[in-house]
Chains A and B, each alone.
Chain A
């Protein structure tokens, strides 16, 4: 029995139009498109966007659309769709790692005096250190979803030509790990950003606490060979908490950027509190809940 059914047995009677992996790929596509938009706003902080900074802005939406196209192709030709999706998602991993390299290089001062080349202070004021890794996470999640696992939850992927690849963990457990790492990246990003305000506002502790809780719970569930019903309930609570915190954070960020009488000044949404960033928490929560769905491929 799959995890969500362990917690809510009646859910077994519900038949979703998309399989778990299809939902993961859909989320990957949506993530890539939104990442492109979010990064365009982030890179607009300096009025001139350099050539390297255009890479994720252009790649994100194109990659998202290509994934959606692959999804349509999959209805008729699954192997071709898998190859297309894998290429796009591998590129996403490369873009993510490249972006992180650029952000790290921008943050550190290699010629500063010893002990001042990498400091927490520099990391706080630098471009988001782990932001670009979202591309890599989406790539990893997406690649995991693109390849069929047969039997379900066995850790054995079916490759082209009928070959098989035996992985140390089932896809479900791999997803749990990725959710944990993704949540950790999100909470580190939020803490580094909030550190600019010295954590004076007590509301800033909420995403920190919820993020740490979500990280530890997701990783713990991944480590457990057979999580119990109670474990899964706590996991669901953690994921729902992430979703609530994400939406609440977005509302608070938007509220901070509005000026008197609710007026919207575009510049404040670019330079002020990033209003899409908190939705990363909600994103991880949503992905975390999708992991609990039936891992079996749908029969047509």
Chain B
């Protein structure tokens, strides 16, 4: 019997190739079936695996004992999933400003925006152009302690040159750092100068160490600061139809939708982030909080922002996802008129106070007289509340916490000024208006 011919290498290779192809095909088809058949993908922080569960990194193992909460939070974050390590944000060279020695290396206790900027260049650049950066700090602390470099950065901000009212600096000086550390500074430090001459605190909105997109998008994040009698945006939002929609149906919204893809399917009603930051409609994502604002509403006498027409378009792009053009245009026209009306009332208060200054009946110091508190609160608390209330559709705040209180303070001011002028045997030049404006 003859021996079978030896199998050629070529034929053996052919079989191997077919076998390998078959394996790849079967595995590929299996992956397709698994991907199609799996339950809803886990995009939320809580559902993500702990990327640090079995890490033997020195930072992780030590801090799991000393500050376990940080490790637990960070392990579930997208940053940990992207292999961003503790050292990437915290570790610096020994001569880095603000560096402290820590377990054989040098770290920043709180990473500055310079560290975030290593990966998030655009976001930091946009933030730096906004009033959340140095203008927020200067409003509280003034600009006198800024280094030349930081002063130049401050002066380069287009919307930063709108002169901040010095009264807030005066309040901070009056209360002193022991109080303001827990008060004004806590919020206004969003734009603080850092030791390395960078500016700002990303963690003010992007809470460490989860850095959750859902958390940053939810209105509660903004209510940390945008709350209270002088800027009650949180209260106004809660009162508004947008806020009601959030409160009643927000649990069904897609909080983890990828940035730049948001539609009304993800957010059927807006939050603070939707209107002011998120890419929505024809407006792209921005970290410049003033990019869509037309007025300096925070000011005693509100003025238009430098590029208010462009900003208006950016904001109206968001509005137009739900509201028709006529509705939006009518709203803007009406709200503009309210700003003018409140400006007129605040100007009245300034005119009422002026004779006291002219006649030397009050000093030029801040807050050394009850009447100065009244005049301050008129615009700072109630005038602003009326303006914010109108633009964010909170009727009760516009009226009873806003305009009504402005009118009441006007009467108080007028009465007090009259009395002081009479006491000084001077004629009162200020008469109450005969018609309601």
Chain A residues near B (Cβ < 8 Å) = 46-48, 50, 105-106, 109-114, 116-117, 119-125, 155, 166-169, 177, 180-181, 184, 187-188, 191-192, 195-196, 198-199, 208, 212, 215-216, 219, 222-223, 259-260, 263, 265-268, 270-272
Q: How far is the CB of B360 from chain A (nearest CB, A)?
A: 57
| A270 CA / B285 CA spacing, docked (Å) | 12
**A188 close to B119 (CB less than 8 A):** no
State which of B13, B43, B121, B279 has its C-beta within 8 Å of the C-beta of A265: B279
Besides A166-B10, A212-B32, A219-B25, 15 new A-B residue pairs in contact (Cβ under 8 A), listed by A number: A109-B49, A111-B53, A113-B49, A180-B21, A187-B32, A188-B31, A192-B31, A215-B25, A223-B18, A259-B263, A259-B281, A265-B284, A267-B285, A268-B279, A271-B279
Which residues of chain B have C-beta atoms less than 8 A from A219's C-beta?
A: 21, 25
The answer to whether A169 touches B14 (Cβ under 8 A) is yes
Task: Assess the B21–A112 pair: CB atoms within 8 A.
Answer: no
Question: 22 A-B residue contacts at CB 8 Å?
Answer: A46-B119, A48-B119, A48-B120, A106-B83, A111-B56, A112-B50, A112-B51, A113-B54, A117-B49, A124-B41, A166-B10, A167-B10, A169-B14, A184-B24, A188-B32, A219-B25, A259-B263, A260-B281, A265-B279, A265-B281, A265-B282, A267-B260
User: Which residues in B have their C-beta under 8 angstroms from that of A196?
Assistant: 41
State whether B261 touches A271 (Cβ < 8 A): yes
What are the 9 closest A-B residue pairs judged by CB atoms, nearest first? Answer: A271-B260, A47-B122, A116-B49, A168-B13, A111-B55, A267-B260, A112-B49, A267-B284, A168-B14
**A263 CB contacts on chain B under 8 angstroms:** 282
In contact, B53 and A112 (Cβ under 8 angstroms): yes
Write out, one digit per residue, whether chain B residues 3-39 have a CB within 8 A of any chain A CB (1) or not (0).
Answer: 0000000110110011001001100110110111010
Task: Say how far B367's CB is from chain A's closest CB, in angstroms.
Answer: 44
Q: Which residue from chain A places its CB closest to the CB of B12 in the assembled complex?
A: A168
Best-buried of B32, B34, B282, B285 by chain A (most CB within 10 Å): B32
Q: Cβ of A268 and Cβ of B32 under 8 Å apart?
A: no
Contacts of A50 in B (CB 8 A): 119
Does any Cβ of A come within 8 Å of B40's Cβ?
Answer: yes
CA distance A117 to B36 in the complex (A): 20
Closest residue of chain B to A190 (Cβ to Cβ) is B32
For the complex, is B81 an interface residue (Cβ under 8 Å from A)?
A: yes
- Count residues of B near A (Cβ-Cβ below 8 Å): 51
**Residues from chain B with Cβ under 8 Å of A113 in the complex:** 49-50, 53-54
A106-B82 contact, Cβ under 8 Å, with A48-B119, A168-B17, A271-B261: yes
Give complex CA distance A298, B251 in Å.
Answer: 67
Chain A interface helix/strand/loop/mixed:
helix
Chain B residues near A216 (CB-CB < 8 A): 25
A120 & B38 in contact (Cβ 8 Å cutoff)? yes
| Residues of chain B contacted by A260 (CB below 8 angstroms) | 281-282, 320-321
Is the pair A271, B258 in contact by a Cβ cutoff of 8 Å?
A: yes
Given contacts A111-B52, A212-B32, contact A268 B11 (CB under 8 A): no
Among the interface residues A109, A166, A181, which one has the most CB atoms of the partner chain B within 10 A?
A: A109
B261 touches A259 (CB 8 A): no
In the complex, which residues of chain B have a beta carbon less than 8 angstroms from the beta carbon of A222?
Answer: 21
Query: Would you call B53 and A181 a contact (CB within 8 A)?
Result: no
Nearest A residue to B42 by beta-carbon distance? Answer: A121
Complex Cα spacing A291 to B10, Å: 22
Identify the closest chain A residue to B22 (Cβ).
A219
Q: Min CB distance, A179 to chain B, in Å?
A: 12
Q: Which residue of A lies closest to B56 (CB)?
A: A111
B293 to chain A, nearest CB (A): 20
B119 to chain A, nearest CB (A): 5
B38 contact set on A, CB distance < 8 A: 120-121, 124, 195
Question: When the two chains form the complex, which single residue of A111, A168, A181 contacts B11, counting CB atoms closer than 8 Å?
Answer: A168
Known A111-B52, A119-B49; contact A192-B35, beta-carbon cutoff 8 A: yes
Docked complex Cα distance between A155 and B17 (Å): 14
Known contacts: A119-B49, A195-B41. The answer to whether A208 contacts B18 by CB under 8 A is no
CB neighbours (8 Å) of B51 from chain A are: 109, 111-112
**CB nearest neighbor in B for A211:** B32
Q: Is the CB of A168 within 8 A of B285?
A: no
A222–B82 Cα distance when bound, in Å, is 40
Q: How far is the CA of A216 from the CA of B32 in the complex (A)?
A: 14
Q: How far is the CB of A252 from chain B (nearest CB, A)?
A: 15
B10 touches A168 (CB 8 A): yes
Decide: A48 near B121, CB < 8 A? Known: A109-B51, A111-B54, A195-B36.
yes
Contact A125 B41 (CB under 8 A): yes
In the complex formed, the residue of A with least CB distance to B53 is: A113
In the assembled complex, how far is the CB of residue B200 from the closest CB belonging to chain A, in whole angstroms? Answer: 17
Contacts of B261 in A (CB 8 A): 268, 271-272
Whether A184 touches B260, Cβ cut-off 8 Å, given contacts A120-B34, A168-B14, A260-B281, is no
Contacts of A114 in B (CB 8 A): 54
Q: Are B119 and A191 in contact (CB under 8 A)?
A: no
Complex alpha-carbon distance, A111 and B64, angstroms:
14
